[in-house]
Amino acid sequence: MEYEKVLKHCKRALVPQFPQSYIKSVSKGVYHSGNIIRASDGCRLMEVEIEGADFEENIWDIKRNEVVEGKYPEFKNTFLENDSDITFEISEERIKGLKQVLTCIKRLGYKNVVIFNSEGFWYIEPQYTEQNNDKLDNSVTINYRFSVDSEKHKEAIIKHFNVTYLLNAIDFLNEVKEIGTRVRMANKSMTPIQFSNNEFSDFKYKYLVLPTRPF
């Protein structure tokens, strides 16, 4: 993926969830070092390797078009390692399907979605709550099967995510246009989901999204 396209997705991952006064200026910028670009808003974290790049280490505020002084947070240990409890693949076709489903869920007014396993598959659906029952059109039922639970977990695994954050991540994956995407999670409700390139890809990336609380 070209550098300019990566920056476009970095902008989406830099939307602050807290008042600007609470956010350190270095966290508003895009980190560059060697062939690495990294961006985070505290709820999402993306890291991309740009082939052939050799950036000087700096933090670039792409909204103000200026360098930010300071030390960028160390996020290396935030990413999920190879020994994650849950690992599976999503095909390019299912990535496109997820984009359509998440777009539909968002347009219907839902704020969050649920990812869960059932009978050997992974599904996504809107998060239905008592608070949104009266406000949303519940005549529409959405339940999308997007991958096989290849490890066949016997226990129920349920995670809740902000629909916009997840849609931003899927938009990125859809534009990458790889054969497939590797997904990693830990078997705990408040741990993130991480999307990354598979072992056959030349384009290296990681995109991590933190979950929301289930209420």
> Higher pLDDT residue, 117 or 201?
117
- Per-residue pLDDT, averaged over 113-128, amounts to 93
pLDDT, tens digit (0-9, with 9 covering 90-100), for 169-193: 999 999 987 778 999 998 887 889 9
Confidence of residue 63 (pLDDT cuts 50, 70, 90): confident
Does this model's pTM top 0.75? yes
> Higher pLDDT residue, 84 or 107?
107
Q: Where do the domains of the chain lie?
A: 3-78, 86-209
- Per-residue pLDDT, averaged over 90-116, amounts to 94
Statement: residue 19 has pLDDT above 60: no
pLDDT of amino acid 135: 62
CATH architecture of 86-209: Roll (3.10)
Are 110 and 136 in contact by the 8 Å Cβ rule? The answer is: yes
Pick from 12-16, 82-86, 110-114: least confident = 12-16
CA–CA gap between residue 190 and residue 184 (Å, rounded): 14
Kindly give the pairing relationship between strand 121-126 and strand 144-148. antiparallel
Across 74-108, b (16+ Cβ under 10 Å) vs e yields: eeeeebbeeebebebebeeebbebbbebbeebbee
Helix (H, G, I), strand (E, B) or coil at 197: strand
CA–CA gap between residue 148 and residue 75 (Å, rounded): 30
pLDDT of amino acid 83: 65
Confidence of residue 200 (pLDDT cuts 50, 70, 90): confident
As a whole number, the mean pLDDT across the chain is: 85
Helix (H) or strand (E) holding 193: strand 193-197
Statement: residue 87 has pLDDT above 80: yes
- Per-residue pLDDT, averaged over 58-85, amounts to 82
Statement: residue 22 has pLDDT above 70: no
